[in-house]
Amino acid sequence: MDLNALLHAFTPSWTSVAMLMAFFTYLAIAGSILPGRVVPGATLSDGTRLHYRCNGSLLLILLISLLGVGGWMDLVSPTAIADRGFELLSTTLIFSLFVTLLLYIAGCRSRDQSSSLKPHITGNLIHDWWFGIQLNPQFIGIDLKFFFVRAGMMGWLLINLSVLAKCIQQVNLSVSMILYQIFCVLYILDYFFYEEYMTSTWDIIAERLGFMLVFGDLVWIPFTFSIQGWWLLNNNVELTTAAIIANCLAFLIGYLVFRGANKQKHIFKKNPKALIWGSPPKVIGGKLLASGYWGIARHSNYLGDLLVALSFSLPCGISSPVPYFYPIYLFILLIWRERRDEARCAQKYKEIWAEYRKLVPWRILPYVY
């Protein structure tokens, strides 16, 4: 592809703008009216709590059903996203920049003193733009942080399904593509099934909404997590039976560790006396869980996440590093985040954290790191 063709492919069109706006409009309207469990978020510093309507599973199923019916009636093309991938990428990036600018302006002008909307301005424009000024900004009653991460996860699935449709259209469906698609579908469905667990994550509780999260949710998640699908669309990979079994095991073990660790943490935060692996939990200083996965490594959920990410790439074989962009990036990110988590926890919990570190010396991978 020459430079002119590449620039043309990345140039946003009104069609890509309409597709993106239709997607966000559906999420905003349907997300507000469809039934779902209303979950209280973490208690903020001023004693208030946000409430989240966790209807992501229903929202996703309805969306896929509507698109399926639309495709069957020839109202929408199943390959529309795959056909306009670069367009949608640039359109979403521009949208993210625009939204971040509005968030920055709104935050600077805010006089609200609540924990959710109180402006945190350092005076460093780049820092405030990147990390955000307000904790939980809203638009027409919609919590934007929760909305954007939901959009990113659903967008990832929509891209994958469109790539799958393109693959079937080209009569190029392989075992590798099927494995990749199954793993991603299971992971994304699991995310929405346990959507309420998102309300207790660091991003929701403590990170302010700036370009880092907006770009990460709307651009990074859907467009980089789907690189393997794009790669398999243009490259044929033959997997041995042993490779298929190993790939499935990597996903299964990673999923069990990732989901199990996050579930234990979420349950502990809701009920510190709840049993962990059938036994009363061991708690350090009345605050830190040291049982289950959290008694094996201080960030065992990161290990599960890395194994799952690796399982997304293994169907692509080892002929190119391109499909391994996601697990490599995630490895670097989680090592950095683990160091940041350690520093924050040491500052927050002080001697309690020191005691926890002595009891659980391993950071992510037991007996290694």
pLDDT values of the chain reduced to their tens digit, one per residue, 369 residues: 566 776 777 788 899 999 999 999 999 999 999 999 999 888 888 888 889 999 999 999 999 999 999 999 999 999 999 999 999 999 999 999 999 999 999 999 988 888 888 888 888 899 999 999 999 999 998 999 999 999 999 999 999 999 999 999 998 899 999 999 999 999 999 999 999 888 888 888 888 999 999 999 999 999 999 999 999 999 989 899 999 999 999 999 999 999 999 899 888 888 888 899 989 999 998 889 999 999 999 999 999 999 999 999 999 998 899 999 999 999 998 998 899 889 888 988 889 999 999 999 999 988 777
Both 204 and 246 in one domain: the answer is no
* 9/88 Cα distance (integer angstroms): 10
What is the number of domains present in the chain? 2
- Domain boundary residue among 182, 213, 238? 238
- Domain boundary residue among 215, 238, 261? 238
* 227/145 Cα distance (integer angstroms): 24
pLDDT at 2: 66
Both 53 and 142 in one domain: the answer is yes
Both 105 and 207 in one domain: the answer is yes
Both 211 and 253 in one domain: the answer is no
* 180/112 Cα distance (integer angstroms): 46
Both 186 and 48 in one domain: the answer is yes
Both 185 and 270 in one domain: the answer is no
Both 292 and 206 in one domain: the answer is no
Both 301 and 215 in one domain: the answer is no
* 147/28 Cα distance (integer angstroms): 8
Note the pTM of the prediction, 2 decimals. 0.89
272 is in which domain, residue-wise? 241-368
Both 47 and 193 in one domain: the answer is yes
Q: Is 208 exposed, middle or buried (0-12, 13-18, 19+ CB in 10 A)?
A: buried
Both 278 and 195 in one domain: the answer is no
Q: Is 56 exposed, middle or buried (0-12, 13-18, 19+ CB in 10 A)?
A: buried
- Domain boundary residue among 192, 214, 238? 238
The counts of H helices and E strands in the chain are 16, 6
Both 94 and 216 in one domain: the answer is yes
Calculate the CA dihedral of residues 96, 101, 103, 109 and round it to 10 degrees. Answer: 180
* 99/338 Cα distance (integer angstroms): 29
Both 315 and 216 in one domain: the answer is no
